[in-house]
A and B are shown apart, each in its own frame.
Chain A
Amino acid sequence: MNAIETRGLGKRYRRTWAIRDCDLTVPAGQVTALVGPNGAGKTTLLRMLAGLATPTAGAATVLGAAPGSPRARATVSAIDQTVPLYRHLRVAGQLAAARALNDQWDGDLAVQRLSALGIAASARVGKLSGGQQAQLALTMALARRPRLLLLDEPLASLDPLARQDVLGWLMTCVAEDGLSVVFSSHVIVELERVASYLVVLSAGRVQVAATVDSLLDTHLALTGPSDGVDDLYRQVEIVTAQRAGRQALVLARTCGTPPGWAARRVTMEELVVGYLREPAARVVPEPGLEIVR
């Protein structure tokens, strides 16, 4: 079963489409990175998948259930980028409310995690730092023992050490419990360490959706003469080319090195930035994995 499936999914706010014609299949048991520039539709997509927003067009399923349905609510946890919490409550009250709202609740996990983070049960939620609030929200999301976790920029308010800690914890949950995670972030370097599937959204459309390994294996960063770029177009599929004086840096979908060019393996950040520079370039989901221009 796939973690997420969307067909023609779209959401329009008045006359503007936040996301449209979104066909996406995200396999279960993976950590999926959802990246894109501001306004690309990441938050809208995650909110629709969490059942917080209704699609204007198309349909979606999360773990085979309609978003917002009782079955989906029982198995999907989500943290919105606003980190919604009852800030007038104390941490213990917030946990009690969460426990009351769920059939499945791992109280021990929540208590141990918060204790390890040094977040006191008697502390008022509103008085916690942004990072602590994010940690609290994440702890409660995981204490529900979900099978799919949707995270909208959860690391933004965390310090580097806390980010490492959270990512490590998420990886443990994925490995031990088979949890599927989809999270959006602008910090691609951190995603690279944990993500096994990449979705790039741009201007409200899915631009890339494929496994990270397949993308990295089929793309190369080529360095060579600027005047050779035009010839290169005839030899390989170029995603984007940047000319700087006599040198050119090209992101190409190819496994071999063209003559006269120096090739190296791309990083995930280069790959994402390359595709974001060229919104017309798309990589459709496997097994096709073809660049459509």
Chain B
Amino acid sequence: MTAVIVLRATRAAWYKHRFSVAGIPAVFLLGALALFADGVVQRHWLSVHHLSGCLVADDTTGGSRCQSAAWNPSGIPSGPPNVIAVAVLALPVLVGLFAGVPWAAREFESGAFRFTWMQSTGPRQWLLGTFGPLALLATVSAAICGAAAYWWYQIAQWQNGTSIWAWRWSSFELTPLSIAGWTVLAMALALLCGVLIRRVLPAMIAFIVAVGACAYVSQTWLRSWLFGIGMTVKQVGFGTTAGWPSSTTSYVAQSWLQAPSGQRVSGLPVVNNLNAWIAQHHYTSWVAYQPHSHLIWLELARNGILITVAAFAVLASVWWLRVRPAD
């Protein structure tokens, strides 16, 4: 019965907000299309110049041909990559700010929610049926746009002379999964701000503060905390590359020398042949790192946290509607 009512509210939401409902995916998909078209042109150029292999993650720095092409990208059609990356990263916030917050708050501000609540649809069904499809639509659209952006950004990174290093914050955030996660959080916070404050402009300001706080915590604390979980520790050769994880695919957090007693060596003497001195004292070299295979799990964990926060925001909105429905 509830599902039927929610579907009814969804159908009514289409009549009430058809421009937003059509506009959000249109904006995301146009962005995705533009990035995809630009990416195709760039990849065609690389293919013509037999440089396609340079984009394979393990081989971005491999070969002088790739390096020289990357450092001399005059022939590659290019856009401003960082601007575009930031624009894509800002999309969830913009959608939450200009679609999510007004959608929820304007109904209260204008009093129009009373119309819906006085039909056969209750506040919770109204909330789920009206806001749920919008959030879902925005999330799926954002994921598609994110996929195009991630694919497009690989060339931009390589073109800028950097490796395709998925552990960079920009790369980590540009994945379809991350953008979808941020969109879910942004929509949930938009809902909470709209339902709590019930005035469009103050709710928009509160939303910016809330999203800003979440982004700050994520970048300054959450990401580094996650990257420290479940690291692989292994012995590597000192002074050689033997055993060292690939710097282009792994995230090396720490390396150190260890004495035979198991203690970490804090300082090294100034000697002529350090390698020989280390071998003589039976010191070993160790590295703690996140292999590339962990990336997806960390990304999932981070998105799990974002979605959990989003779920709390939605529950808080539903609870607040029950406590203070219309008065």
Contacts and interface: CB of A to CB of B under 8 A. Distances in A.
Interface in A83-100: 84-87, 89, 93, 96-98, 100
A9 B15 CA distance: 37
A52 B15 contact: no
Which residue, B11, B12, B15, B323, has most C-beta atoms of chain A within 10 A?
A: B15
A101 interface: yes
Interface in A45-85: 47, 50-54, 68, 70, 73-74, 77-80, 82, 84-85
Interface residues of B, number: 28
B53 interface: no
B3 interface: no
Interface stretch (B111-119, B139-147, B149-157, B299-307): B111-119
Contact of A54 (B1, B112, B325): B325
B327 A84 contact: no
B120 A70 contact: yes
12 contacts: A47-B326, A52-B117, A80-B111, A80-B114, A87-B112, A98-B115, A100-B11, A101-B116, A101-B121, A102-B8, A104-B120, A141-B118
A98 B14 CA distance: 12
A80 B110 contact: no
Given A86-B112, A87-B110, A96 B118 contact: no
Interface size class of A (residues with CB under 8 A): 35 or more
Given A52-B325, A53-B326, A74 B112 contact: no
Nearest to A44: B327
Interface in B250-273: none
Contacts of A231: none
Q: Report the 7 A-B pairs with minimum CB-CB distance, sorted nearest first.
A: A101-B119, A84-B114, A100-B11, A84-B115, A52-B326, A100-B12, A97-B15
Interface in A243-258: none
Interface centre among B110, B120, B121 (most CB of A within 10 A): B120
A144 B120 CA distance: 9
A100 B111 CA distance: 19
Given A51-B117, A53-B326, A84 B111 contact: yes
A143 to B, nearest CB: 11
Interface of B: 1, 5, 8-9, 11-12, 14-16, 110-122, 322-327
Contacts of B14: 100
A52 B16 contact: no
Given A87-B110, A101-B9, A52 B120 contact: no
Q: Interface centre among B1, B9, B114, B325, by most A CB within 10 Å? A: B114
Contacts of A44: 327
Given A51-B117, A101-B8, A89 B111 contact: no
Contacts of B119: 73, 98, 101-102, 144
Contacts of A86: 16, 112, 115
A85 B115 contact: yes
B33 to A, nearest CB: 29
A23 B318 CA distance: 31
A103 interface: yes
B65 to A, nearest CB: 59
A84 B112 contact: yes
A237 B224 CA distance: 82
A97 B16 contact: yes
Given A52-B326, A87-B110, A101-B121, 10 more contacts: A13-B327, A50-B118, A54-B325, A54-B327, A82-B114, A84-B115, A85-B112, A86-B16, A89-B15, A103-B120
Contacts of A137: 115
A80 B116 CA distance: 12
B4 to A, nearest CB: 9
A99 B324 CA distance: 27
A97 B107 CA distance: 14
Contacts of B114: 52, 80, 82, 84
A106 B9 CA distance: 18
Interface in A175-220: none
Interface in A1-36: 11, 13
Contacts of B122: 51, 68, 70, 73
Contacts of A100: 8, 11-12, 14-15
Contacts of B9: 101
Contacts of A93: 15-16
Interface core residue of A13, A74, A97 (most chain B CB under 10 Å): A97
B132 to A, nearest CB: 15
Contacts of B8: 100-102
Contacts of A70: 1, 5, 120, 122
B7 to A, nearest CB: 9
B121 A53 contact: no
A39 B84 CA distance: 56
A68 to B, nearest CB: 6
A102 B120 contact: yes
Contact of A73 (B12, B16, B120): B120
A101 B120 contact: yes
A98 B112 CA distance: 12
Contacts of B324: 54
A73 B122 CA distance: 8
B68 to A, nearest CB: 58
A37 to B, nearest CB: 20
A89 B325 contact: no
Contacts of A96: 15
